[in-house]
Amino acid sequence: MQASKTVDARKQPQGADAARLLLDEVDQVFIGRGKKYAKLLSADLKESVEARKPMLGPTGNLRAPTLRLGRTLVVGYCEPMYDEVIGS
């Protein structure tokens, strides 16, 4: 697997507006933190600012790492989540 586009979030912070725009381009979103993760439909996240909060870090920017794989967005790190999305 090879990245088609890489953005350095330190140089180009991706805030709540960027997260909202990404949701328009995907169908499902995986949000991981630690050993837990959630699989959500992007339509559900578009409707509620509160529902999008787990996608954002303490600075209000999109959490890292964030990957877009086709019509799937993966936010945060959780090994079981990556196993499900990418495969072993």
pLDDT digits 0-9 by tens, 55-66: 999 999 999 899
**Within-domain flag for 55:** yes
Q: Which of 56, 51, 46, 45 is nearest to 14 (CA)?
A: 56
Contacts with 34 (C-beta within 8 Å, 6 or more apart), sequence order: 78
- Give the structural domain span for 49: 26-86
**Within-domain flag for 70:** yes
Which pTM does this prediction carry? 0.86
**Within-domain flag for 35:** yes
| pLDDT tops 80 at residue 83 | yes
| pLDDT tops 60 at residue 75 | yes
Task: Give the residue, 42 or 9, on which the prediction is more confident.
Answer: 42
**Within-domain flag for 52:** yes
Give the helix ranges, DSSP H, for the chain. 16-23, 42-47, 49-52, 79-86
Q: What's the confidence (pLDDT) of residue 3?
A: 64
Could you give the number of structural domains in the chain?
A: 1
**Within-domain flag for 60:** yes
Q: What's the confidence (pLDDT) of residue 85?
A: 93
**Within-domain flag for 9:** no
**Within-domain flag for 21:** no
* SS3 at position 31: strand
**Within-domain flag for 78:** yes
